[in-house]
Amino acid sequence: MPLVIFVDDSETALASTRMVTNSMPIEVKQYTEAQVALAEIQAGMTPDLIITDLNMPVMNGLEFLEALRKVPSTSRTPCLMLTTETKAELKEKGKALGLTGWIVKPFNPAQLKQAITRVLRLT
């Protein structure tokens, strides 16, 4: 079963993503701090998809993505940004770091489900 991790400092956002993914054939892990998720990945966790918020304390989503790309096991792992931000320059930075896609909050549950399904090639 594919492992999808969500990183967001908002418990409300994590609860929303949990509701969307409950019926999907995936394993989900959620983190409120990017540095904790990064430490687990550096210790050997290998997610199939990473979905992260942009604006978080300590380590933001772009910093997290940059750090992920330095870990051999996640250098090419698909990553989606789930954020309220819509600025073109932020999207460009994400793209330069190998970001797979950008979903704007508040998100449409069907859109998130479709993005996960497409990236993981679920049927």
- List the structure tokens of 99: 């970001």
* Residue 52 parent element (H or E): strand 49-52
CA dist list (Å): 68 to 10, 15, 38, 123: 21, 24, 7, 27
CA 43 to chain centre: 18
Dump pLDDT digits (tens) for 35-54.
999 999 999 999 999 999 99
pTM: 0.95
CA distance 18 to 33: 17
Dump pLDDT digits (tens) for 55-112.
999 999 999 999 999 999 999 999 999 999 999 999 999 999 999 999 999 889 999 9
**Does residue 24 carry a pLDDT above 80?**
yes
**Does residue 123 carry a pLDDT above 90?**
no
Looking at 83-123, list the stretches that DSSP marks H as alpha helix, in order from N- to C-terminal side: 88-96, 109-120
Q: Which residues contact 86 (CB under 8 A, 6 or more apart)?
A: 104
Query: φ, ψ for residue 109 (rounded to 5)?
Result: -55, -40
Mean per-residue pLDDT, 8-32? 96
pLDDT at 32: 97
Please name each of the domains of the chain with its CATH number.
Answer: 3-120 (3.40.50.2300)
* Residue 19 parent element (H or E): helix 11-21
CA distance 12 to 101: 22
pLDDT at 48: 98
DSSP-based three-state secondary structure for 34: helix
CA distance 5 to 47: 7
**Does residue 7 carry a pLDDT above 80?**
yes
